[in-house]
A and B are shown apart, each in its own frame.
Chain A
Amino acid sequence: MPVATLREAIEEHVHDGDMVALEGFTHLIPFAAGHEIIRQRRRHLHLVRMTPDLLYDQMIGAGCADHLTFSWGGNPGVGSAHRVREAIEKSWPQPLQVHEHSHAGMAAAYVAGASRLPFGLLRGYFGTDLATVNPDIRSVACPYTGEQIATVPPLNPDVTILHAQKADLEGNVLMSGIVGAQKEAALAAKRLVVTVEEIVEHLDAPMNSVVLPAWVVSAVACVPGGAWPSYARGYYARDNAFCIAWDEISRDRERFAAWIERYVYGTRNHREFVQALRADGVSL
């Protein structure tokens, strides 16, 4: 049975220098797992994520990564991801090498990774400078028509980390709602760690829903609230007020560092993280 604590799961499955994809497109973002990676002071990660929003802002600002593969990096509806920006613009806290795609290109790269194909393909990147700055974006002639089609290399992370609504006692995982490219990222990876809102006796998954069977899951950890300030449909809503507040917290190096110190390094797990926020008057 792959059920573990989050600390054990990260200790065992995330190593310095790994390519790590924490996926979740606005919904079900594995924040608690990202915080645990910061807590365990992993370094030199190659972080992969379509939308490196607040989560990678925190991990990059905390010095976990020196490569980033992504397709949109801001604070959705608010503005910049200030820590990502400062890493790119000023190499702080360390230089960050970026590998940039469009969403469609990165989705194709996950599909190719999950399928163990040598490349993903799409009609994409037309007329853009992305192919100029990212040498991984190339093209191939269609063998039937000769049309040039854009290609991207597959993404095969060492470990993909997801948050989902439920797992059962055997470790089968169920997610619903906006599911992004999570299934593809999960099946593209060598190892798969999932945090869930609850562990139930039986999943009772509706047929055709997104289920990751236990035998492709390396570890499951029960971490209620583990997607905050993102959300878990059926459990809690997106904390838009915190996402707006993050703009101020993250704008300044010292204020950011103090936030990470107090709430991430200063706590041992997600429950203490939430308690510390509540103790400081954050309504959760």
Chain B
Amino acid sequence: MSRCPWTPDEMMTVTAARMLWDRAVCFVGIGLPSAAANLARLLKAPDIVLIYESGTIGTRPNVLPLSIGDGELADTATCVVPLPEIFAYWLQAGRVDLGFLGAAQVDRFGNLNSTVIGPYDRPQTRLPGAGGAPEIALHAKQVYVIIKQSPRTFVPSLDFVSSAGFLGGNGERARRGAPGRGPQAIITDYGLMRPDPTTDEFVLVARYEHVTVAAAVAACGWPLRTGAAVEVIAPPTLEELEALRELHARTRAAHAVRVKLPI
């Protein structure tokens, strides 16, 4: 991958942005999901509705937020609502088309761990925790997951389930009455996985041009199956790369501005 004129982050962000659509109501987490959602808004989906869990609805930030509640998100929003309201009246009420999540670990059924590596009571690594994700994963009509692939992140069994995907698979999620359809895509630095419609197990359906299927399989901790045909994802266009790099450059400049306290 080192010979590519773009980074894995850029490839993932561009791929995810292409999968968003105009007027989608999109509940966005910080990091790659936020970058992808805003890239989509700038390039092809001007009326996408971005919601951040801090309560900002319909926000159009000029630079990417560092935190989930940067002033830029509030200043450019259609409205700003309190936290109990964003989760109850908007997410739980089923008004969100797409939830966009990252995680530290994912399993073959798209269940996510963002809580702990090792036992909960004696963790090797204590991660920040679930935040808004459990209910985003439950209520959004569908969920995209964006996460870099390695045998340590794509694991046969999670150390902790922070947010539910398809649980044990084979229709368990639907049988238990989850309102949202669950994870419909995992975007990685090797390609794209989609759930098998019968078993709910994620399979490789597309890869980047410079990545082999064997490499994608090797970078997965469960025996990764491949779809009937593994498509090749078109490399980022010049327009996509320029827009993304300009967004990141604006963001870096904005985050470097020193704050002046009024005392």
Contact = CB atoms under 8 A, between A and B. Distances in A.
Interface string B251-263: 0000111111111
Interface string B137-148: 111000000000
Given A107-B84, A107-B87, A179-B82, A126 B178 contact: yes
Interface in A182-238: 183-184, 197, 210, 224-225, 228-229, 231, 233, 235-238
Contact of A127 (B56, B69, B167, B257): B167
Most buried by B among A71, A81, A130, A184: A130
A239 B130 contact: no
A65 interface: no
A130 B167 contact: no
Contacts of B259: 228-229, 231, 236-239, 241-242, 283-284
A274 B130 contact: no
A71 B131 contact: yes
B262 A123 contact: no
A126 B261 CA distance: 43
Interface in B17-68: 30-31, 53-56, 65-68
A34 B51 CA distance: 30
Contacts of B71: 27, 177, 231, 233, 237-238
Interface residues of A, number: 67
Nearest to B139: A123
A231 B75 CA distance: 13
A124 B138 contact: yes
A60 to B, nearest CB: 12
Contacts of B138: 123-124, 126-127
Interface string A244-281: 10000000000000000000000000010010000000
A180 B92 CA distance: 17
A181 B69 contact: no
Contacts of A178: 54-56, 69, 73-74, 80
Contacts of B257: 237
A70 B262 contact: no
B32 to A, nearest CB: 12
Interface stretch (B119-127, B187-195, B227-235, B239-247): B119-127
B24 to A, nearest CB: 21
A77 B262 contact: no
B105 to A, nearest CB: 12
A284 to B, nearest CB: 5
Interface string A71-93: 11110111011001100110000
Nearest to B129: A72
A71 B130 contact: yes
A8 to B, nearest CB: 19
Contact of A102 (B128, B132, B160, B179): B132
A130 B164 CA distance: 11
A133 B116 CA distance: 12
Given A102-B134, A122-B88, A130-B134, 13 more contacts: A25-B83, A80-B127, A85-B125, A102-B135, A103-B131, A111-B84, A123-B92, A127-B178, A128-B134, A129-B115, A133-B120, A239-B259, A241-B259
Interface of A: 25-27, 50-51, 70-74, 76-78, 80-81, 84-85, 88-89, 100, 102-105, 107-108, 110-111, 122-130, 133, 177-181, 183-184, 197, 210, 224-225, 228-229, 231, 233, 235-244, 271, 274, 283-284
